[in-house]
Structure 1
Amino acid sequence: MKIAVIGASGLMGTKIVSVLEREGIDVVKASTSNGIDAYTGVGLERALAGADALIDVTNSGSFGESDAFDFFRKAGANMLAAARTSGVSHYLALSVVGTDRLVENDYFRAKLVQENLVRASGLSFTIVRSTQFFEFFDGIVNASAVDGVLRLASILVQPIAADEAATSVARLAAGKPANAIVEIAGPERLHLPEMARELVTATDDPRPVELDHEVRYFGVSLPKDGLLPTSAAASGDLTFHDWLSRNMVSQEYA
């Protein structure tokens, strides 16, 4: 089996490639660093030649940048066209749990456009919506800082380690297309402020964490369960506490 990973040099792309290679799968590592550009379409057909499946883990900008819509619309259209031409039989796109509830934010609205392009393409597909990765929580917490205080609403999250998410994505791509949305998440539901307190304690961050029910999540008003999967998603075993402990130990002895 041959699988092309578009966006192979990013956090998830790198991890997915490693999983696929350990499984003995022939992998095409496609990214702008080796001349394959999803946004312009340059090199896509070459990257997909002979590929059975395509994993789209391309990304653009941050949660607050409006150029994400242009990127996902153009890159998605280019990858889907190349996949049709190359005879790809399984198109897998990585998205975010709650995307359809976060459309007040430009980035998530753009992700929903990406999902819709895939579903309307006529190709056999799997859309994998993942909860937040542990690796991103430092940025999520820092985005809540106001005058030296971390202000967070009491939102529930069910985050997952990027390594475990990558394993799930790789296995889904190597299997039969679901022709549906599949959700993946970690093993436990946590309150965002509690995670923030554990994070600042572990990193000796002196900033206080305060509960603020008026705070929005990247500009979006959400109910308490607005970031949780709607299905009984569970693919990860590693808890945030254990991941954080391992991460701190590895940094201490690096």
Structure 2
Amino acid sequence: MRIVVVGGTGLIGSQVVALLRDGGHHVVPAAPSTGVDTLTGQGLAEALKGADVVVDVSNSPSFDTEPALDFFTRSARHLIEAERDAGVRHHVTLSIVGVDQVPDYGYYRAKVAQEDAVRGGGVPYSIVRATQFFEFIAPVMDMSSEGGEVRLPSTRLRPMASADVAAAVAEAAQGEPSNGIRTIAGPEVYGLDRLGEITLAAKPDGRTVVTDESAGLFASMPEGVLVGDDTAHVASTRYEDWLRQH
């Protein structure tokens, strides 16, 4: 199959590209650096010529409400229009577990708008919703650091390795459209403060974790939103094992 991966040069996209190529497919990474801009539509028609499947793992450069909403809605509109013109038979989008349960969180609202555009776009689709990535834990800790303290809430997460996310997206791309949602999550549930403690125990740098229920992006998340439910497909990689390898 010819598969176009939008966002194919990023953390998830580059791994999806590699997995699909290993599977024997002709894969085209699409990103501004390769001459494809979904915001303007530039390069889309050429990139999608002959494409069977399009995978969208692109991300907004801003987490603020208005820029994120503009990015996801405009990009989805341009992408789906180009897919219809090219005769693409399957659109795969990566989204977030619990994205439709937090209407006051602007970035999540923008992702919901993206999902809605995919559902109503007229191209058969599959949506893969994933929990937070292990790779985001250290940056979240850095953003929440004050001197020698890392201030984190006890908000529960069920994080997973980006490699497991990429594998699920690649699997969806090689299958038939589900016209629905598949949820994937990590094998264990942690409080974010506990994740910080585990991280610093494995890689001590002089900082200590202080539980602060008002600190950071995840402080306002309702209980259970970031964990998913019993329908989630559970990935195998544990955080402690991942830390030892990274």
* Superposed CA offset, 1:39-68 (max 9, x none): 110111111111111000111224346411
User: What does residue 196 of structure 2 align with?
Assistant: 196
- Do the aligned partners of 1:156 and 1:228 also contact (CA within 8 Å) in 2? yes
| TM-score, structure 1 normalization | 0.91
Distance 1:147 1:62, change over 3 A: farther
User: What does residue 105 of structure 1 align with?
Assistant: 105
- Do the aligned partners of 1:193 and 1:209 also contact (CA within 8 Å) in 2? yes
15-24 vs 118-127, which moves further = 118-127
Q: CA deviation at 1:146?
A: 4.1
Give secondary structure in 1 for the equivalent of 2:233: coil
* Superposed CA offset, 1:177-212 (max 9, x none): 111111111111122111111112323222221222
- In 2, distance between residues paired with 1:215 and 1:56? 31
Name the amino acid aligned to 2:242: W
- In 1, distance between residues paired with 2:231 and 2:174? 22
User: What does residue 176 of structure 2 align with?
Assistant: 176
User: What does residue 143 of structure 1 align with?
Assistant: 143
- Do the aligned partners of 1:4 and 1:47 also contact (CA within 8 Å) in 2? yes
**Percent of residue pairs identical:** 39
- Do the aligned partners of 2:158 and 2:227 also contact (CA within 8 Å) in 1? yes
Aligned: 1:225 with 2:224: yes
Name the amino acid aligned to 1:232: T
User: What does residue 236 of structure 1 align with?
Assistant: 235
- In 2, distance between residues paired with 1:116 and 1:91? 13
- In 1, distance between residues paired with 2:141 and 2:117? 32
- Do the aligned partners of 2:148 and 2:206 also contact (CA within 8 Å) in 1? no
Q: CA deviation at 1:110?
A: 1.1
Matches within 5 A, 1:2-21: 2-21=2-21
Name the amino acid aligned to 2:57: V
User: What does residue 71 of structure 2 align with?
Assistant: 71
User: What does residue 114 of structure 1 align with?
Assistant: 114
Distance 1:105 1:61, change over 3 A: farther
Give secondary structure in 1 for the equivalent of 2:17: helix
- In 2, distance between residues paired with 1:94 and 1:32? 19
- Do the aligned partners of 2:37 and 2:44 also contact (CA within 8 Å) in 1? yes
User: What does residue 33 of structure 1 align with?
Assistant: 33
Any runs of at least 4 consecutive aligned residues in structure 1 with deviations exceeding 4 A, and if so which?
A: none
Q: CA deviation at 1:144?
A: 2.4
Distance 1:145 1:195, change over 3 A: same
Q: CA deviation at 1:231?
A: 4.2
Name the amino acid aligned to 2:186: G
- In 1, distance between residues paired with 2:148 and 2:40? 41
- Do the aligned partners of 1:187 and 1:234 also contact (CA within 8 Å) in 2? no
Aligned: 1:128 with 2:97: no
User: What does residue 207 of structure 1 align with?
Assistant: 207
User: What does residue 185 of structure 1 align with?
Assistant: 185
- Do the aligned partners of 2:64 and 2:106 also contact (CA within 8 Å) in 1? yes
- In 2, distance between residues paired with 1:168 and 1:190? 22
- In 2, distance between residues paired with 1:216 and 1:190? 16
> Which segments of 5 or more consecutive residues in structure 1 lack a partner in the other structure?
248-254
Distance 1:245 1:143, change over 3 A: same
User: What does residue 163 of structure 2 align with?
Assistant: 163
- Do the aligned partners of 2:84 and 2:122 also contact (CA within 8 Å) in 1? no
- In 2, distance between residues paired with 1:139 and 1:106? 20
Q: CA deviation at 1:17?
A: 0.2
Matches within 5 A, 1:38-53: 38-53=38-53
